[in-house]
């Protein structure tokens, strides 16, 4: 059985910029897979190559065994892509847009599925509205519907919840999880790393066009054995604990944004070290207002991996 996506030695340059630098990646059928990285890491370039919107300079990419260059039509039918950009035709209604999308793939009599997709994406009430009249969030819902309208076995979601309200986000993920349970392969790129942590069974992290981490989500997080004590205190952090202070979730704990609240994040190696932290705080005359021991999450792991390489 071929992989849903198989990438071998994929490279792409734009002038002096090396967008992809020998990427190797295999995503099995039925996976919910996360593709993460900072802006400019190469995620969108990789997706563009899969979708036939860009040609690689080297290497190969296949969708369910179909080469995206040599077997473009077959590979494209197997793939549904939700792009980052809001691209739409201003002359049609939502329903017309989805019917035309069906026609691009040679599908007739697809109205029942179109209605179901619109229902799950809360578009039914806007089915006959012109695309120009929709809000940005509604337009993004239509992009998602377009990617699903031909029932592709492999679905790539490139920042699908950017600018989307919380209610739609929950509804979208319920629908996508149902598709995944039905056997669809889902590839997700997102800057909302809590979504990737909750949804993705495996994750690859890209930086400067290279895969710098690839593992099961839980195993990736478990690589970082440190624990953290999150504190809100009154008083100045004792010098003895200054070396333990760490950034968290891309923000400097205890930095300018937190200074008034006295919020700190301190690293410890095990639970026994929490007592020595408390003793140092007491000796320094600090009053502890709140305390919590936390495990590293995917955001913390992401920050650390991006700093190391």
* Strand segments (E) across the chain: 5-14, 17-27, 32-36, 58-63, 66-67, 79-82, 154-158, 185-189, 202-207, 210-216, 227-234, 247-248, 251-252, 263-268, 287-294
pLDDT at site 146: 93
Domains annotated on the chain, with CATH = 5-221 (3.40.50.300), 225-308 (3.30.70)
Instruction: Tell me the C-alpha distance between 22 and 253, whole Å.
Output: 36
Instruction: Tell me the C-alpha distance between 163 and 283, whole Å.
Output: 47
pLDDT at site 193: 92
Coil, strand, or helix at residue 149? coil
pLDDT at site 205: 96
Per residue of the chain (309 residues), give pLDDT as tens: 899 999 999 999 999 999 999 999 999 999 999 999 999 899 999 999 999 999 999 999 999 999 999 999 999 999 999 888 888 888 899 999 999 999 989 898 899 999 999 998 889 999 999 999 998 888 888 998 999 999 999 999 998 887 777 877 887 888 889 999 999 999 999 989 999 999 999 999 999 999 999 999 988 888 776 788 888 888 888 888 988 887 654 343 333 334 345 688 888 887 888 889 999 998 889 888 888 888 778 888 898 888 875
Longest dimension (CA), the chain: 75
Q: Is 215 exposed, middle or buried (0-12, 13-18, 19+ CB in 10 A)?
A: middle
pTM for this prediction: 0.80
């Amino acid at each position: 059985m071929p992989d849903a996506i198989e990438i071998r030695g994929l490279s792409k340059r734009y002038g002096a910029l090396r967008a992809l630098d020998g990427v190797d990646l295999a995503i099995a059928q039925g996976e919910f897979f996360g593709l993460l990285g900072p802006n400019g890491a190469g995620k969108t370039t990789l997706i563009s190559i899969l979708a036939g919107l860009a040609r690689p300079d080297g290497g190969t990419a296949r969708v369910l065994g179909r080469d995206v260059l040599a077997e473009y039509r077959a590979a494209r039918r197997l793939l549904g892509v939700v792009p980052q950009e809001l691209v739409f035709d201003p002359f049609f209604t939502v329903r017309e847009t989805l019917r035309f999308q069906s026609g691009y793939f040679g599908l007739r009599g697809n109205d029942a599925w179109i209605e179901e997709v619109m229902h799950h994406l809360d578009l039914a009430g806007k089915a006959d509205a012109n695309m120009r009249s929709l809000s940005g969030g509604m337009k993004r819902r239509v992009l998602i519907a377009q990617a699903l309208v031909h029932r592709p076995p492999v679905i790539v979601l490139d920042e699908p919840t950017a600018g989307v309200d919380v209610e739609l986000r929950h509804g979208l993920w319920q629908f996508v999880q149902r598709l995944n349970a039905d056997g669809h392969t889902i590839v997700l790129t997102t800057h909302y790393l809590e979504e990737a942590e909750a949804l993705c069974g495996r994750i690859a992290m890209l930086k400067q066009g290279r895969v710098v981490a690839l593992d099961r989500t839980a195993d990736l997080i478990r690589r970082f054995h440190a624990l953290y004590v999150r504190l809100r205190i009154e008083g100045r952090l004792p010098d003895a604990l200054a070396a333990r202070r760490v950034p968290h979730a891309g923000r400097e704990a205890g930095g300018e944004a937190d200074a008034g609240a006295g919020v700190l994040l301190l690293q410890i190696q095990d639970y026994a070290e929490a007592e020595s932290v408390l003793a140092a705080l007491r000796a320094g005359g600090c009053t502890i207002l709140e305390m919590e021991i936390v495990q590293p999450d995917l955001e913390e792991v992401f920050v650390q991996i991006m700093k190391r390489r």
